[in-house]
Every structure is written in C-alpha cells, then in structure tokens.
Homo-oligomer: A and B are copies of this chain.
Amino acid sequence: MSAAVPIADPGDPRLDDFRDLMHADTRPDRRGIVIAEGVNVVERLARSSYRVRAVVGVEAKLTALAPVLHQLDAPVYEVDKWTLSEAVGFRVTRGVLAAADRPEPVPAESLLATGWRFAVLEQINDFENLGSIFRNCAAFGVDGVLLDPRCADPLYRRSVRVSMGHVFGVGFAVLPGRWPDSLELLRAVGVDLLAMTPRAEAVAIRSVVAPRSWAVLLGAEGPGLTEAALAAADQWVRIPMAAGVDSLNVATAGAVAFAQLTC
C-alpha cells in the first residue's frame, strides 16, 4: 500500500463497499463482497488468497495492521470513528473493516485433493455455529469443510466474524448433486465418514482409531444428522455425555471430535 488516504465524508463513493453493512448479506447486489471486521480478522483476510478490494479504519487500527497493509495491493482509507459508523450504518466497535471479492467456488473434488481430514456439514444454518466450526477446524488442523447445499453461507458477515477470519484459511466447498448420495465423492477418494450422533449404538469417540483419512459429519443442532446421512456413514461416533443432557452445541461437538482424532 501507499500511505492511507484520509476520507472525511461518510458519503464518499470510495466507501460504497462498506455501506449499510447491517443488511449487506441479504442485498442481492452485495453477494460478491466479503467483509472482514477487526484487526485479527482483517489480518487473516490480508494474508489469505482472497483479493482485497479496500481497507477502511481509524488511525490506531491501521497502525496496528501496518506490517500487513504494506504488502497489500489495495487502497487503505483512514477515517475517524464517526465517519466510519455513519458510512456502515451502525456503531463500529472494532475500528477497521476490509472488503474482498468472493472467490470462485472450489469444486469439492479439488478441495478433497488438498488434504485428508475434513468436516462435512448437513443443514447448518446458524451463522455463529458455522463460523465456530471453521475456527475449530483451523485450531485442530482440519483441512477443509464440505457443505450440503442447505447449509448457510460461511462468508456471511457474522460467520466470518465468529470464525475469527478462519473461513479465509480453511477451504470449503459445496457438495454437488443429491445429498447424501454426494458423500460417495469422499468415499471414492478413501475418506472414512464418521457420523456424530448421541445414539447409544455409536462408538465412543475415545475408542475410535483415527483412519488415515477421515471426515466428521455434523448435523444441525436440535435434530442432528438425518437418517439418510447416518445411513451413508461408515461409522457412528458419539461423545459420552452425562444423563439428561440432550447434546452439545454442534461446533463444540465438532471440536471435541477433532481433538480426539488429531491430538
């Protein structure tokens, strides 16, 4: 970057990527833009393969990001906090935002070729759970996330934020074709499908010997995996829990499984 360009007018068209952020995810004209908020998340975005369009922030945050912004081929705008809040439409507490182009979708086959440990998500619609799952995948070195077509979009603002920016580093792909038949794609390349379920017939996760290549299947909170997804799995795995507790949060269950399989 060259020096940050000061902007004083919240209506400046150079801030258009960041306008009306509260509703940005649902505006059809905005589906091509991904937003990162806060120093850590902007840093992860800048270090990722995503093409950054612009960064806007208050002086202190831009200074904190200077080492990363210096290597960035995108304009950086310096604003005060009032200009920033007025432009985006709410009080921005994190002080720095970046906008990036949404990358081309990765085909599931390509993603599968990049590693051997995966998470497969069925109908995960909650953006916070989705973001947390990416964060947990990053923590435990899970190589990629495969989504059934009914999952929410991991690049929505809230998911990005809760993931701490790890959606930019952990690859993901939507499984093509009919779910759960599409799981055959994984089996075809030798990935063992471990379905998480609280059912008593499932094997306790501590007793599972991690196969060379595995995918942990996680279903929506509440109902859990569908019968069809369970039937398509190679093995049912459960986390032993105290009596009377329905289940863990889906992202937490994933973390416990990843920890047991990788640590």
Contacts and interface: CB of A to CB of B under 8 A. Distances in A.
Interface residues of A, number: 32
A251 interface: yes
Interface stretch (A17-25, A152-160, A186-194, A240-248): A240-248
Number of copies: 2
A125 interface: no
Given A239-B263, A245-B166, A252 B132 contact: yes
A50 interface: no
Interface string A103-147: 000000000000000000000000000001001101111000000
A40 interface: yes
Interface in A212-245: 239-242, 244-245
Interface stretch (A51-59, A67-75, A254-262): A254-262
A61 interface: no
A81 interface: no
A131 B248 CA distance: 12
Interface of A: 40, 132, 135-136, 138-141, 164, 166, 169, 204-206, 239-242, 244-249, 251-252, 255-256, 259-260, 262-263
